[in-house]
Amino acid sequence: MSVMQDSIVAGETLNYLAVTADYPASAGWAVTLYINPLAGGTATSVTSTAQGDDHLLQVAAATTANWTTGNCTWQTWVEKAGERYMLEEGVLRVRVSLISAAAGTDTRSQAQKALDDANAALAAWTPTQKRYRIGGREMEFNAPADIISVISHWTAAVKREQGAQAMAAGRPNPRKLQVRMGRA
């Protein structure tokens, strides 16, 4: 079985080659990819075209351009003559496209937005100003240490995202320290 990508930019063509030795396209099997946004929206399905024994699933750029940014669940199913089996499932993250984005579009992740808001709350904190709005929620901090614990939480979340992005781009995880041992 081949591996589905874990993210796509809205407006980018999605190509997925499903390799299924048990269900070859040449024997009449067809694979359908179902994609459904987690936060609501329009579900999409596409049926494969045969590529020898493999199945090419392709979602046109014009279709993905209308996808809302965020996470979608997906499943692939194989079918022939009334038989149907689920092959695999996962989550696909739809990222914002800068091609059609309005000037000033906020492309930060939710974790980065929350971290920036928490840092702003810490910078503005005074004993008389304890209530802040962070990430759409109103919070009250009795001491700077309360804000610092929120900052620590979101800093860790942002670093996890950065590590995942680096590894997806083929770079080493910035959270891992690489050490080389040698003789002097």
- Could you tell me if 119 and 43 lie in one domain? no
Between helices 144-168 and 110-124, what is the axis angle to 10°?
A: 150
175 and 126 in contact (C-beta within 8 Å)? Answer: no
Q: What is the pLDDT along the chain (184 residues), one digit of tens a residue?
A: 567 888 899 999 999 999 999 999 999 999 999 999 987 778 899 999 999 999 999 999 999 988 888 889 999 999 999 999 999 999 998 988 888 777 887 878 888 888 888 888 888 777 777 777 666 677 777 788 888 888 899 999 888 888 877 776 677 776 666 667 777 6
Answer yes or no: is 178 within a domain: no
Return the amino acid letter for 76: T
153 and 115 in contact (C-beta within 8 Å)? Answer: no
* Closest by Cα among 114, 96, 113 to 105: 96
* Closest by Cα among 178, 180, 176 to 162: 176
- Could you tell me if 127 and 88 lie in one domain? no
Residue 24: CATH number of its domain: 2.60.40.10
Q: Which two tokens stand for residue 8?
A: 């796509």
- Could you tell me if 20 and 70 lie in one domain? yes
- Could you tell me if 87 and 126 lie in one domain? no
- Could you tell me if 12 and 89 lie in one domain? yes
Residue 50: exposed, middle, or buried by beta-carbon count in 10 A (0-12, 13-18, 19+)? middle
- Could you tell me if 114 and 87 lie in one domain? no
Answer yes or no: is 102 within a domain: no
Answer yes or no: is 66 within a domain: yes
d(C-alpha 175, C-alpha 173), whole Å: 5
Answer yes or no: is 128 within a domain: yes
Q: Which of 32, 67, 95 is the last residue of a domain?
A: 95
For residue 57, give its domain range: 7-95
- Could you tell me if 11 and 89 lie in one domain? yes
The pLDDT tens digits for 60-105 are 999 998 888 888 999 999 999 999 999 999 999 898 888 877 788 7
Q: With a threshold of 0.85, does the pTM exceed it?
A: no
- Could you tell me if 41 and 72 lie in one domain? yes
Answer yes or no: is 100 within a domain: no
103: helix, coil or strand? coil
Answer yes or no: is 26 within a domain: yes
Structural domains of the chain, count: 2
- Could you tell me if 91 and 116 lie in one domain? no
